[in-house]
Amino acid sequence: NHNTNNPRGALIVLEGLDRCGKTSQSSRLFSYLEGLGHSVESCRFPDRTTSVGQMISSYLSNESQLDDHTIHLLFSANRWEKRSLMEAKLRSGTTLIVDRYSYSGVAFSSAKGLDIEWCKAPEIGLLAPDLVVYLDITPEKAAERGGYGAERYEKLEFQKKVAQSYYSLHDASWKIIDATLPIEDIEKQLQEVALDCVKKCQKGKSISLLWP
């Protein structure tokens, strides 16, 4: 029972390799948009707080083993369980800044060798982002940043494959930002594209679904 005359919020997704700076930039962008008076919320996938998210979390920390297809579907399910809430928020005028989304799902699973079309299938019907920002860094440079932790995918050889998967997945609509620039420079570029996107959504750009 939302007011259909309300301008809607934008769905802004940040993607990139581990350590590329998504978390830092997502909180900076949040403060910027909030400071301008926009209604904004941020979230991340995986959302480890749900029961599906807890299964994902224990897999990532090597506390459990799962078949590659199974974990892929759990990551997707973790997005599906947030879908209706996300749509309601967008329609009520709240902009969402999302740290990782379906592109991570496809990039990481296809890097293991799963068929890319199979990987994309369970994402069909999820909300399509209004903006995808890819924070671009080489796996080698990313590895130098404070080093990887102990999680399953935090290994240089695997991150190289993920980088290739992202490359084959991206399209001309993605905004690619050099993630090796100083944090403030990335922040500025991000502010510009994000604000532009928020305005387009306010002006009536309609919500679309994956994969457009």
Binding mask 51-80 for ligand Z5A (x = CB under 6 A): ---------x--------------x-----
DSSP string, the chain: ---TTSPPP-EEEEEESTTSSHHHHHHHHHHHHHHTT--EEEEESS-TTSHHHHHHHHHHTTSS---HHHHHHHHHHHHHHHHHHHHHHHHTT-EEEEES-HHHHHHHHHHTT--HHHHHGGGTTSBPPSEEEEEE--HHHHHHTT---SSTT--HHHHHHHHHHHHHH--TTSEEEETTS-HHHHHHHHHHHHHHHHHHHHTTPPP-BS--
Q: Which is nearer to ligand Z5A, 20 or 198 (CB)?
A: 20
- # binding residues, ligand Z5A (CB under 6 A): 24
Q: Which is nearer to ligand Z5A, 8 or 111 (CB)?
A: 111
Q: Which listed residue (73, 119, 186, 197) binds ligand Z5A by CB under 6 A?
A: 186
Q: How far is the CB of 13 from ligand Z5A (least distance, A)?
A: 10
Q: How far is the CB of 120 from ligand Z5A (least distance, A)?
A: 12
Q: How far is the CB of 54 from ligand Z5A (least distance, A)?
A: 13
Q: How far is the CB of 10 from ligand Z5A (least distance, A)?
A: 20
Residues 104-163 that bind ligand Z5A (CB under 6 A): 104-105, 108, 145-146, 153-154
Residues at the site binding ligand Z5A, with contacts judged by CB under 6 A: 16, 18-24, 44-46, 60, 75, 100, 104-105, 108, 145-146, 153-154, 181, 183, 186
